[in-house]
Amino acid sequence: MAQAVEEWYKQMPIITRSYLTAVIVTTVGCSLDIISPYKLYLNPMLVVKQYEFWRLVTNFLYFRKMDLDFMFHMFFLARYCKLLEENSFRGRTADFFYMLLFGATVLTGIVLVGGMIPYLSESFAKIIFLSNSLTFMMVYVWSKQNPFIHMSFLGLFTFTAAYLPWVLLGFSVLVGASAWVDLLGMIAGHAYYFLEEVYPRMTGRRPLKTPSVIKALFADEPVVMARPADVRFAPPPAMDVAQD
């Protein structure tokens, strides 16, 4: 069993493995009182006045207490982050990292701006960890890129992947989690999908092109399938074409 888990872990792509490891270490550390959540949460005043810039990153690494909701989000993180990195972003690690960076920036910006809007500031002030939102963003992007895949929710009913974010949003409400957190992830995911997939098809311009600085951090090399020199292929058989 342990060997199977180790093999599963080693087969994860680099970004998924790194993020999942950081999340588990941080959350377990907080549960054991080794790390204080008060040193991790997003606090704009402390970031600006006390220069605690690490909060812009650490608030994406803590998933609150280790309960059923934590287990679900770990499953979503391991599954959909891995699916995106291995399929949609295969051979494009830098682009995948840039997607996460874009999502984290959008989420942080929404919370900061929302905290200054009357009647909404109180709700946004309660959002101090954005790890759930970033995970939900990845689920949303995957569902938009694979809308016709058939899925089942706990064996109760089936649906296509296009409705997955809404199914999970309803489940979050049922278990008493904040709908705001999931909605923020959907907003960030839709912003990325529109700017990366829809807008380039409409205008021919790609505003989310990965900066060369980020590309330099990852050595992505295309996989080339070499044809053996000794192998000869027979010509394809002629097809009979019926003529009227």
Over residues 193-227, the pLDDT tens digits come to 999 999 999 988 889 999 989 988 887 545 444 45
Model pLDDT, residue 1: 66
> Does residue 236 belong to any structural domain of this protein?
no
Q: What percent of the chain has pLDDT over 70?
A: 88
Cα diameter, the chain: 83
> Does residue 101 belong to any structural domain of this protein?
yes
> Does residue 14 belong to any structural domain of this protein?
no
Find the range with the poorest average confidence among 61-65, 86-90, 137-141, 148-152: 61-65
> Does residue 134 belong to any structural domain of this protein?
yes
> Does residue 91 belong to any structural domain of this protein?
yes
Apex 201 CA angle, 185 and 109, nearest 5: 30
For residues 185 and 199, the answer to whether their CB atoms sit within 8 Å is no
Over residues 1-18, the pLDDT tens digits come to 667 777 877 888 899 999
How many C-beta atoms lie closer than 10 Å to residue 82's C-beta? 19
Q: How many domains does the chain have?
A: 1
Model pLDDT, residue 220: 55
